[in-house]
Amino acid sequence: MAGVSTKEIKTRIRSMESTRQITKAMEMVAASKLRRAQAQIQNSRPYFEILSDTIRDIVSSNRDFSSPYLQERPVKKLLYIVIAGDRGLAGGYNSNILKLVQSQIQGKDAVVLPIGKKAVDYFRSHKVPVWTDTYAEAADMDIGDCFSVAKQLSRGFLNGEFDEIHVAYTNFVSVLSQVPATEKLLPLTAEDTKSTGVSSETIYEPDSETVFAAIVPEYLGGIVYGALCESRASEAAARRTAMDSATKNADEMIADLSLKFNRARQAAITQEITEIVAGS
């Protein structure tokens, strides 16, 4: 009986060691992806900050400026761009952002544009209308796709298909902290176009309204791309943390099983010695 017990324990130890190797490898892969995602965030910010400053400059330097992108209207139809992951094993990364969006669209006439397999599966299972599932693979989405999305949504907003457009993503605070958030893209609010207080003498050709109309879709594409980069960094950080925790748990279980194995083996040896002494 003791022999069977030790064999079972040894099998479990081997199983836990295999699991530990997998979780450790996934942790290292997530750490590598996190470094790349952080570099993308840093590299993308300057370009989109210039676009943002240009929009503020046009609005602040033109008192009689008007644009359909700035017009508030009764909200009848909402659209949410929801960025989640393609896989699990990332702690609460996917569930946190999906639950946040679900709470905000509850009871409203809303449609979603899911980015990531988890988002597609979640909203389909909850019977939420999906605008398109073209971008179901978050890992395959690049900056060109973000600008394509922004242009399509800008046309939809101008045509009255949507009265408000939001993006939902996970904000990367640090390796240990990722916060789900939503941001309104359209219509642009006064805060979005608030002047920096510096007078501008820039001359726009052919005119400021035409430049503004051309820049807004690019600006929105930049925000979507920035949100995608933030979400990718958050997913990698969450997966790294989850796999690190899983590896530590595996180490603890291996240590505990090793102790039980040694005790069982010692008990078996003691029993054999006792039987031999009793027989003699």
**DSSP-assigned states of every residue in 110-127:** EEEEEESHHHHHHHHHTT
Distance of alpha carbon 16 from alpha carbon 254, whole angstroms: 6
pLDDT at residue 59, rounded to an integer: 64
pLDDT at residue 199, rounded to an integer: 46
Q: In terms of Cα–Cα distance, which of 64, 69, 60, 67 is closest to 196?
A: 60
Reading the chain (280 residues) residue by residue, the pLDDT tens digits are 344 477 888 888 888 889 889 988 988 988 888 888 888 878 877 776 777 677 777 666 655 567 788 788 888 899 999 999 888 888 888 999 999 999 999 888 999 999 999 999 999 999 999 998 888 888 888 888 988 999 999 998 988 888 899 999 998 888 888 899 898 888 876 555 554 444 455 665 666 677 777 888 888 888 888 889 888 889 988 988 889 888 889 899 989 888 888 888 888 788 888 888 887 6
Count of C-beta atoms within a 10 Å radius of residue 170: 28
Relative orientation angle of helices 143-158 and 208-279, to the nearest 10 degrees? 130
Distance of alpha carbon 179 from alpha carbon 173, whole angstroms: 7
Locus of tokens 């904000």: 171
Which 3 state secondary structure label does DSSP give 186? strand
